[in-house]
Amino acid sequence: MYAQDDWRVRSELTLNMGLRYEFVTPVWESHNELSNFSPTTQQLVLASSGSLYNRALVNPNRLNFAPRFGFAFTLDSRTVVRGGYGLSYQQFNRVAGANELASNLPNSVDIPITQFAPAAKTGAQPLCADTGPLPSSDLGTCFVATQQGYPTGMLTPPTAPFNLILNTPTYVPAHTPTEYVQSFQLNVERQLANHLILSIGYVGNTGTHELLLADFNQATPDNAAGTVPLQSRRPFNTTYCCSDISMAFNEGNSNYNSLQIKLEKRYRDGLYFINSFTWSHTIDDASGHLEEDDGDSEYVNLYNIAGDRGRSSLDQPINDTFAVTYDLPYGRGRPFGTTAPYLL
């Protein structure tokens, strides 16, 4: 739902006000074939019929109100000041399989296997015996050749309690706030001469509750001697839980600030020139998934998220664009008639 109104307070001042309400359900599957990791039980919770939470295993957000406000003020016959603020929600952000609860057991089997061929210099493994179906116990002890196929039972969905040592679970916190961006701008537009306009302004935005990825079972640092086993340094290290836990959570922040200058020149014969210059800076906690420019990563250090904050991989400090547009003199009220020809 959305409501908006323009209010002309005085001849030189106009206000624009609006309020938008959004409700989008969390992702659910028609046959309830979803599951989510539970930190309390250290096991997977299966979706079921019933409420939105039962089906999606994530609570819906019902209070997403987005206000907007703007103004235009005429200083004199050649100068206008404009400004505005708006809040916008990002209701859905799919990052491949990293936040898809459909990728969890028992509906999807994901078993990472590290193999070292006999020709490898270190960590070599002997070839698995090429007689009959390979037992699943061979995994990790011998090198499985492609032509030998999958070991027996490897792709058979297990039953609870699920072995989350071999299968990396996906975890989306049940209380996940909706991402939103607050945008704001203030600019002054001045007519320097006939058909020559200069605009100088500040444009910025802040992103809150943006999607981050992390290993929810991130191990603490090893000792100086490097003798503490990896699994024993993880928060969850029982018989069935866990190796890595892929967590998608909305706790990221971003910030963008810019100076924007635009010069426009129009001619009566349909010729139009515009030059736009932007000087900006963008910082955030992490890059978007699969957007790992400049060595950035979408994963953050769960023990020190603030330590990952820095220049965004999307940061482009200087940007200048020059464009020329010519409006062809065809059509109603133009020198060459009322019908424009087809242009190939």
> What is each CA distance from 127 to 24, 140, 144, 146, 325, in whole angstroms?
52, 11, 6, 11, 68
**Which residues touch 221 (CB under 8 Å, ≥6 apart)?**
233
- pLDDT tens-place values along the chain, 344 residues long: 999 999 999 999 999 999 999 999 999 999 999 999 999 999 999 999 999 999 999 999 999 999 999 999 999 999 999 999 999 999 876 666 778 899 898 888 876 676 766 665 566 677 777 666 677 666 667 787 778 777 776 766 667 788 888 788 999 999 999 999 999 999 999 999 989 999 999 999 999 999 999 999 999 998 888 889 988 999 999 888 888 999 999 999 999 999 999 999 998 778 999 999 999 999 999 887 777 777 777 889 999 999 999 999 889 999 999 999 998 887 777 777 665 555 54
The overall longest dimension of the chain from CA atoms, in Å, is: 91
Q: Which residues pair with 87 in a beta bridge?
A: 182
HSE toward the beta carbon, residue 209, CA cutoff 13 A: 18
DSSP calls for 225-284: T--S-TGGGSS--SSS--S--EEEEEEEEEEEEEEEEEEEEE-TTSEEEEEEEEEEEEEE
Q: How many CB atoms lie within 10 A of CB 42?
A: 20
Q: Cα dihedral angle (120, 125, 130, 133), rounded to 10 degrees?
A: -130
* Distance, C-alpha 54 to centroid of its chain: 25
**Which residues touch 76 (CB under 8 Å, ≥6 apart)?**
none
CA distance 292 to 331: 49
